[in-house]
Amino acid sequence: MPNKHYRRWLIQMPLGFLIVSTGILLVMYAAERKIADQWFLWGAAAAITINIGLALLGSALIHKMKSDLIRKTRKTSSTISRD
């Protein structure tokens, strides 16, 4: 039975990659609009988007590690109880 950390990792990891990819596309769009006055706004939006995506990826990594620790603890405790 998957624990809550595994479910959170399963949702946050792809979402983090999607948001970081969107931020990178915004950087490319801002670089294309460098002559216009709007490049700064698009660049700021890109930086914010990338940072949110990286925060989600970091959180997903933490949940993955917690999920693995819970799984390892359950496996170890079931082995000990059988002996």
Residue-range domain boundaries for the chain: 18-71
Per-position DSSP letters for the chain, written without gaps between them: ---HHHHHHHHHHHHHHHHHHHHHHHHHHHHHTTTSTTHHHHHHHHHHHHHHHHHHHHHHHHHHHHHHHHHHHHHHHHHHHH-
Tens of pLDDT, residues 14-71: 999 999 999 999 998 888 877 677 778 888 899 999 999 999 999 999 999 999 998 8
pTM: 0.78
Residues present in the chain in total: 83
